[in-house]
A and B are shown apart, each in its own frame.
Chain A
Amino acid sequence: MPMTNPGPAKIRAIHPLPLRIMHGVNALAIVTMIGSGWQIYDASPLFDFNFPSSITIGQWLGAAIAWHLAAMWLLMLNGLAYLIWGISSGHFRRKFLPLAPRKIITEFAAALRFQLPHQSGVYNQVQRAMYVGIIALGIIMVISGLAIWKPVQFSWLTDLCGGYFIARYVHFFAMSLIVAFIIIHLLLVALIPKVLWPMIAGGQVKEAP
């Protein structure tokens, strides 16, 4: 079927400006939260290990808590802005949907064999699953964090997490999964370095006519 001339293809940023700002703020907030969280963990470890103080933020419990409870506002407000922007701008719908569980598995297998090509501006199924997963983890992190911070005033959140004692484990394991995500995230950037600059400067991609 003959197509009408679409005219010159529109150029748009791979990552729109609000997303880049929120990504940067989130990186700063999450590094501060994790680093100070490790120091807080060390005051009363859940397992038979400590985080070396050379990689924690705040050199003693009081300083670490001060960092944690200051950066939590940055994390929560930025996260809230991201959710509102993601839903209202259609970003989530356009980028994350549709999510097909079977395709996630086949594309994940292809990715492991390095046979999943990278397309600028389009997320493959594995990426979609990862990004939706990390948003869910962020929400679990905030809920379990509030449950630990306010087990009386927000006792319903603490109950939701299985009580104060278990909420600490939920918070810890959600942190572990987020750290795993960050490691994979950074490894992939190292593998495909051309994706780094667009997250800072925006980049350019031709919009489908």
Chain B
Amino acid sequence: MSPLMLDRRRLLLRATSLAAVGLLPGCDYNDPKHPDISDRILQFMSRFNDRVQAALFDPHKLAPTFSENLITNPPRFNAFYDIAQAPEVDPLTFRLKVSGLVTDQSAWSLDRLRSMTQESQITRMTCVEGWRVIGQWSGVPLRQFLAKIGADLTARYVTFRCADGYYSSIDMPSALQAQTILALDFLGKPLTAPFGAPVRLRIPVKLGFKNPKSVTAIEVGNTYTGGYWEDQGYNWFSGS
């Protein structure tokens, strides 16, 4: 090999490694309000993945269900705070607020939620971190709740706001999937504070962080509302 060629090779290698080092660690989503060039590429790809997942989503496809002996007990706690800091919501004064594209905006007490038909299921909750638990949740199918409040079922988003400041939003087709419930009970007993008392969203067709706990308000609308983790860079659709 001629010395010239060797130099060209070295130069090329150096140039590519420099480019790789310069580009790759750039995106950390450290400052979502001021995205750099690689942040913008990744955000574009994440929006693209939202559309792909929406297209892949089969509303009739049921998430797998499991037998009772596979239930993870005790369940695994996970939140953006310590277990001792989970919000305590008084079940007697609790009201679930409803707003947006709905005909009946009256708030819901727990008794009123419990008076509706309850659905029970043993499903897998998959965390974005990679681990999974299996649990038995029961509560009000969200599609029946949405029908009851006269929600516009052609709206794009259903947003959930929580007692701990957490929030998240989901697409309407996933909200209407048969296994998506407003869970009130775990293993036949009312939810406890760290696990979302008094009511949480349980949606087996999405990752764990799309299952907001201690929900206090539900909004139906066509404006994108993001979410606590989604606004920091997690993929919004995050379907399973």
Contact = CB atoms under 8 A, between A and B. Distances in A.
Interface of A: 28, 31-32, 35, 40-41, 43-44, 57-63, 65-67, 69-70, 73, 148, 150-153, 155, 164-165, 168, 193-194, 196-197, 200
A64 B234 CA distance: 10
Interface residues of B, number: 41
B84 interface: no
A197 B57 contact: no
Nearest to B38: A67
Interface stretch (B89-97, B109-117, B124-132): B124-132
Contacts of B130: 40-41, 43-44, 148, 168
B28 interface: yes
Contacts of A62: 29, 229, 232-234
Interface in B124-155: 124, 126-132
A43 B29 contact: no
B64 interface: yes
Nearest to A155: B64
A198 B40 CA distance: 35
B204 A65 contact: no
A165 B132 contact: yes
A150 B20 CA distance: 30
B56 interface: yes
List the 4 closest pairs (A to B, CB-CB), nearest first.
A70-B45, A44-B130, A62-B233, A43-B129
Contacts of A194: 1
A31 B20 contact: yes
A33 to B, nearest CB: 12
Given A69-B45, A155-B64, A59 B25 contact: yes
Contacts of A58: 27-28
